[in-house]
């Protein structure tokens, strides 16, 4: 997101966020307030704070414990607002795309931010595999395609996980953050490359640095969405027999790239 985007999102969600908080407190009290709400009491976390922390958490930047430690707060203080914001984001069809790296300490986050616009090796790899010569699409068109299909893809993934759990997600079960082996955007990129027939799945898995099984699961999530969208992906003129040839073609080491725009999609 741009620096202004979280504040704008918070302004949009603030009224509903306040209403959800009052509903929760009403249940905890077992009835209405005995006294009117006081304007002089400053909340521990403003609506903007809650939305920002929820975005960082849903981006898989770090576990809640790390965010709480950086703010000198009890981790339980963050759990409820993050849960409420996540619920509102889902209701507003706002998708927060997970990042490809996860920090385990506050010091790591501080050092990363202090380094400026550092580009991770994973971002360089995704940028290289998005080469128009491989995807058959200009980068802007590929980004638009991924952005347009992200909501359907997220819904399909959640449906699959619902079947695996045998029911809806239980409140409070997601206490931490795990690092994704492949992001939702990379799933769709892998699906495009698979449809382009630039290599077999073993080669694609090696190129993305993931296992064959992980790639198959990723394609199971992305291919149905891509095909249902009616997007025609023509076969590529080249085909690679191994990941080394594929990555050499994109000249991974020599790519001059910048992180993609991770604006939430609606």
DSSP 203-238: HHHHHHTS-HHHHHHHHHHHHHHHHHTT---PPPS-
What is the pLDDT at residue 100?
Answer: 64
Structure tokens at 185: 């955007």
Concatenated DSSP letters of 243-263: HHHHHHHHTGGG---------
The pLDDT tens digits of the residues spanning 179-223 come to 467 877 888 999 999 999 999 999 999 999 999 999 998 898 889
- HSE at residue 200, side-chain half, CA atoms within 13 A, is 4
Tell me the sheet residues that pair with 95: 265
* Axis crossing angle, helix 47-58 with helix 5-29, rounded to the nearest 10: 100
- The number of residues making up the chain comes to 266
Tell me how far apart the alpha carbons of residues 113 and 128 are, in angstroms, rounded to a whole number. Answer: 24
- Measure the CA angle with vertex 233, ends 189 and 142; round to 5°: 40
CA angle 154, 79, 164 (to 5 degrees): 40
Q: What's the pLDDT score for residue 255?
A: 42
Residue 29 gets the label, from left (phi > 0), alpha (psi -120 to 50) or beta, of alpha
High-pLDDT (> 90) share of the chain, %: 21
What is the residue whose two structure tokens read 């997970």? Answer: 98
Instruction: List, in sequence order, every residue forming a beta bridge with 265; answer none if it has no partner.
Output: 95
- Whether residue 192 contacts residue 233, with contact meaning beta carbons closer than 8 Å, is answered with yes
pLDDT digits (tens, 9 = 90+) for 46-89: 888 889 999 998 888 888 888 989 988 888 888 888 888 888 88
Q: Which 3 state secondary structure label does DSSP give 62? A: coil
Looking at residue 60, what DSSP letter applies? Answer: T
pLDDT higher than threshold 50 for residue 175: no
Residue ranges covered by each domain of the chain:
5-91, 121-254
d(CA 57, CA 82): 8
CB neighbours (10 Å) of residue 139?
Answer: 14
pTM: 0.55
Residue with tokens 């009835």: 31
Contact 62, 102 (CB under 8 A): yes
At 42 the pLDDT is 60
What pLDDT shows up at residue 195?
A: 95
Q: Give the whole-angstrom CA distance, residue 17 versus residue 10.
A: 9
């Amino acid at each position: 997101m741009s620096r202004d985007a979280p504040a704008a999102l918070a302004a949009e969600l603030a009224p509903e966020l306040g209403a959800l908080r009052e509903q929760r407190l009403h249940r905890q009290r077992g009835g209405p307030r005995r006294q009117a709400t006081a304007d002089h009491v400053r909340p521990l976390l403003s609506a903007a704070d809650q939305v920002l922390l929820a975005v960082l958490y849903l981006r898989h930047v770090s576990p809640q414990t790390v965010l709480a430690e950086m703010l000198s707060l009890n981790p339980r203080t963050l759990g409820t607002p993050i849960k409420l914001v996540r619920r509102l984001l889902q209701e507003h069809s706002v998708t927060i795309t997970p990042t490809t790296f996860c920090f385990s300490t506050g010091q790591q986050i501080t050092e990363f931010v202090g380094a400026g616009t550092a580009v991770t090796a994973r971002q360089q790899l995704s940028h290289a595999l998005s080469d128009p010569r491989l995807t058959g699409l200009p980068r802007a068109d590929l980004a638009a395609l991924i952005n347009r299909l992200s909501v359907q893809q997220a819904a399909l993934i959640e449906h699959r996980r619902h079947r695996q759990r045998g029911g809806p997600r239980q409140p409070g079960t997601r206490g931490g953050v795990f690092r994704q082996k492949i992001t939702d955007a990379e799933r769709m990129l892998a699906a495009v490359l698979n449809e382009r027939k630039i290599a077999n799945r073993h080669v694609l898995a090696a190129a993305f640095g993931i296992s064959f099984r992980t790639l198959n699961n990723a394609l199971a999530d992305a291919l149905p969405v891509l095909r249902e969208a009616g997007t025609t992906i023509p076969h590529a003129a080249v085909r690679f027999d191994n990941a080394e040839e594929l990555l050499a073609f994109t000249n991974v080491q020599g790519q001059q790239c910048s992180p993609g725009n991770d604006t939430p999609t609606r």
